[in-house]
Structure 1
Amino acid sequence: MAAVESRFDVWRTRAGLWGAPLCAALVWWLSDGGPPGKLAALFAATAILWITEAMPPAVTALAAVSLSVVLGIATTKEAFAALGNPILFLFVGSFMVAEAMSVPGLGARFARATARHARGRLGSLCASSGATFLLSMWMSNSAATAVVLPIALQIARATKDRRYAAAMVLAIAWGASMGGLCTPLGTPPNLIGMRAIQELPEVVGGALAFGFVDWMKVATPPALLMLVAMWLVLALVFRVRPGDAPPPVDVAPRPWSKGEVAALVAFALAATLWVLPGVLDALGVGAAKVVKQRLPEEVVALLAAVLLFLWPIHGTGEPPRRALSWREAAGIDWGTVLLFGGGVLLGDLANKTGLAKIWGEAMVSATGASSTWAVVALVTAAALVLSELASNTASATLMVPVAISLAQATGTPVVPALLGATLGASFGFMMPISTAPNAMAYATGEVTVRQMMVAGVLFDVVGFVVVLVSVLVLFG
């Protein structure tokens, strides 16, 4: 299997390195050579490189930023302003807080406490994946998976049941993907979608507010429905019985460390301030707008990170140490930050050059989509399929401008289309390469590609229906 994967990676890299310039040249040749045509060529090359990962996605994003200036599509100031977008600093701050939670084992403590109270094999599966779901709301999907997976493996392997072990590792991986839907911080596509919604004219003009709490109200119901659906799918496919004897597992509690306390306080403070404007607004408190202006999500995330850099946790006889060191902070996922910056620029340029409008009109002509239902179904399905082949962040970066242009071309509401594309981009349950949690689950050796594909295609269909119905119920 490893040899097959290696050959596939070589083929994929070659396809990307050859296909990107060839497709870009073809698109440019077919266009009139104006800014929309140049951007379409750049989009084509970038999309192919992101899907094939012939270059690291962050490097591809930097190349797109640079080439936008070389091709005369953007000025230097416009191009590099995208790398200073405020939401990038929400990534940076929240990644640092999540790192501080991971280092002392705060997430593992929560996962072990959850496992300690589970009953039966199905109960252990639900509890472990539920813990991953909750952790993934506030840290990256891969980090949440890395925290819970070793504990879940200990539970699963104790049963000596290969089917149960396969179900367990898939539950952890997919639970992380579902939990990531719930908050803007859960996974990068959420921030891509939320930023796009916040910059719509009706939002900027004040007719519609869409902040941290608003995202949670929209995304949490379908995520919870999919979590329950996942339990049912895995129980059905792998024949997990509710009444089976509970597997033995050592989950003895341990004392709290100063690092865990510091991380918990910083996280609780940040989470409170993130949801505070929405709560105050719901209560009719006039200070909500001031709080939102003075303490936007990006500022809160950075202040929480700064607090962790200042919080001393060293004890007697230990060298001076803070809750978060720069060495630890420097290890966050900077690649995702750069990838998001490149995506921001491409999306902005699509609107500026008129390429988004051209795309929308072409898709309406090709698909005949004219209703909200058809538009949401189309962009959700397209994002879902793309997420099986490319990273979730790249999928959302490519699909969000498409969703906007298609909705505008059909005269349908933009927000439902954006939500469908954003949530659909966070799927990808069929292949080990689809998401980092999938790859981590496959790397345990407990689940085969065939098992992942059989259960994954069923869960993809369920997820598509859940997202489509949820979005249409909320905004239809």
Structure 2
Amino acid sequence: MKFKAAGLVLGLALFLAVLFIPTPASFMTAAAQALGTPPPATTISAAQLAGSMQAVLAVLALMVVWWLTEAVPLPATALLPAVLLPLLKVTGLQGHAVYEFSPKNALQNYANPVIYLFLGGFLIAGAMQKWKLDRRFTLWFLTRGNVAGRAGSILFGMMAVTALLSMWISNTAAAALMLPLGIGVLSLVDAQPGNSRFGTALMLGIAWAASIGGVGTIIGTPPNGIALGVLNATFAHDPSYQRITFLDWMKFGVPLVLLLLPIAWAVLMRLHPPEIGRLPGGKARLQAERVALGPLSRGEKGTIAIFALAVILWVTNPFWPALLPDAALQRIAWVDEYLIGLVCGTLLFFIPVSLREGRFLLDWSDTRFVDWGTLILFGGGIALSDAMFKTGLAAWIATSFVALLGTPSTIVLTFAVVCFIAMLTEVTSNTAVTTMMVPVVVSIALRTGANPVTVAVATAISASMAFMLPVATPPNALVFGTGYVRLRDMVRSGLVLDALGCVVTMFIIFVVASRLLGVLSL
């Protein structure tokens, strides 16, 4: 509590200090360079632009401190750009035109299409949770073959299911769903909290798999969407910018999951070898739970149909120009993955399960499954990034970085970013880390000649490499709370996987995504 109070005071003090100090000469120089020589016929002077840079830096300092200390809830901090940018009369440049951060202009960042892609994903995931479809799938998978026969195989099976679920529902929801099943398995072998290597491995496996699986799709975890939102907003007027589609992300996200998940399993089996071989009655218990669910309900069938429709449309969307006739293509030319997610999520409210009872696949009360705070975080991050780029603050930060450290190549810069973000995300929210860092690394990449898209994607992926501390992610905190995982075990095992995760991230980005698939550029 004292830490949060200190963060509250420190954030406000930094905000006021940065806001009211004399404008640095480097800001005036950067503003003059942004306006050009001679300056265009605009209604903004170098002094005004430098003042706006200073105001945005003050807002950035306040938000960073409050995000790192969680002095106030993260989504509440994310609302600050909508309030402070208009109040401080922040003004920037869009091309050579003056851009004022009026309430309308500041708030439009909170309606970025990426936010509605995640809203659609949250609604689909909510329907899966409402109708227990996620639990049915989990039990079905774990009762296949000999998955539930041996300790090692059930560990891998639980991790695989958690990762697969986490690609489509939130990491926290996936871990929360799997946790009771994992504890039930441990009860079969009388594994005691704090005294079972199998218990430690199984709990850590669930938490790790939830984080790893989130990398697989754009909607798997918020950092993915934040990175894309910042990129799309930053390069909205750049004709050479090629937007990463849902399928593009899966081309490197899924291989990363397929590679890192077995590595995580091997680390657990090596550091925490199960003290048991076979699980007595493990498969029978899981089968009994599956039978108790009964046949597929109408709600489950409808949810499966909408989920399948969304996935098919997301995956095939890039191929529509080659598959559809020109007449049909012209009618749906404006349909992209963002609209697909929103349409499929909205349909859930209109497909009836029982007209007599007035029940639908989703009712408005079911929107409790939607992580509204994360959606606000998206908007706040994009608004802050927009202000940093349009005022020239991001360019100033990048210039300062280059003056100190030179101009590293894309590979060197990406490796430094991956390692730094992986460490930083251990002690603060991965969503907040991505929101703070993506605008900075994109600007540094532009200044050094590195590929900004590659560096931004690396930032998002490495934000999910948080395996070492309970505070790093909600899944880590959940499994730590069971008592089966001691802190030293989580730190020791997580440190190993953090290092391996950084190596795998670099391999996926520079070998798979860049050289083999051509999704990202060096």
Under a length normalisation based on structure 2, what TM-score does the superposition of the two structures give? Answer: 0.84
Matched, 1:446 2:484: yes
Matched, 1:297 2:337: yes
Structure 1 residues without counterparts, runs of 5 or longer: 1-9
CA distance in 1, matches of 2:326, 2:163: 34
Give the distance between the partners of 2:236 and 2:383, measured in 1 at CA: 21
Q: Aligned runs of 1:357-372 on 2, under 5 Å?
A: 357-372=395-410
Unaligned runs of 5+ in 2: 25-49, 91-100, 515-520
Per-residue CA distance 1:189-208 (angstroms, 9 max, x = gap): 11112233445649952563
Q: Aligned residue for 2:465?
A: 427
Partner deviation per Cα, 1:133-178 (whole Å, 9 max, x = no partner): 1111111111111222211221133223421111111111111111
Supply the RMSD in Å over aligned alpha carbons: 2.3
Q: How far does the alpha carbon of each residue in 1:270-298 deviate from its partner, in whole angstroms, 9 at most, with x for none?
A: 11111111244677986897587332222
**Which of 186, 198, 206 matches 1:172?**
206
Residue of structure 1 in register with 2:172 after alignment: 142
Contact residue 168 and residue 220 of structure 2 kept, 8 A = yes
**More divergent stretch after superposition (376-385 vs 191-200):** 191-200
Give the CA deviation at 1:426.
1.7
2:286 aligns with one of 228, 233, 251: 251
Contact 1:174/1:429 (CA < 8 Å) preserved in 2? yes
CA change 1:90–1:65 in 2 (3 A) is same
User: Contact 1:278/1:288 (CA < 8 Å) preserved in 2?
Assistant: no
Q: Is 2:183 the counterpart of 1:192?
A: no
- Please point out which of 41, 58, 75 is paired with 2:58: 41
Alignment of 1:84-99 (within 5 A): 84-99=111-126
Q: Distance in 1 between matches of 2:237 and 2:213?
A: 26
TM-score (norm 1): 0.92
Matched residue of 1:313: which SS? strand
> Do the aligned residues in 2 keep the contact of 1:61 with 1:339 (CA within 8 Å)?
yes
Contact 1:194–1:215 (8 Å) recurs in 2: no
In structure 1, distance between residues paired with 2:243 and 2:80: 34
Tell whether the 8 Å contact from 1:202 to 1:208 is kept in structure 2 after alignment. no
Does residue 309 of structure 2 align to residue 269 of structure 1?
yes
Q: CA deviation at 1:240?
A: 3.5
Which of 169-178 and 300-309 deviates more? 300-309
**C-alpha separation between the residues in 2 aligned to 1:228 and 1:77?**
48
Q: Relative to 1, partners in 2 of residues 1:440 and 1:378: Cα closer, same or farther, differing over 3 Å? A: same
- Matched residues, percent identical? 34
Match of 1:361, SS state, is helix
More helix by share: 1
- Counterpart Cα distance in 2 of 1:359 and 1:287: 48
Does 1:68 find its partner at 2:85? yes
The corresponding residue for 1:4 is none
Letter in 2 for 1:18: V
**Distance change in 2, residues 1:198/1:69 (3 Å):** closer
2:242 maps to what in 1? 208
TM-superposed deviation, 1:17: 0.7
Alignment partner of 1:12: what SS?
helix
Q: Structure 1 counterpart of 2:277, which letter? A: D
Query: Following TM superposition, by how much is the alpha carbon of 1:25 offset from its aligned partner in structure 2, in angstroms?
Result: 3.3
Match of 2:2 in 1: 11
C-alpha distance in 2 between matches for 1:263 and 1:299:
18
Q: Please identify, of 396-405 and 218-227, the stretch whose mean Cα deviation from structure 2 is larger.
A: 218-227
Deviation at 1:251, TM superposition (A): 1.5
C-alpha distance in structure 1 between counterparts of 2:199 and 2:322, whole Å? 44
CA deviation vs aligned residue, 1:405-433 (integer Å, no higher than 9, x gap): 11111111112211111111122111111
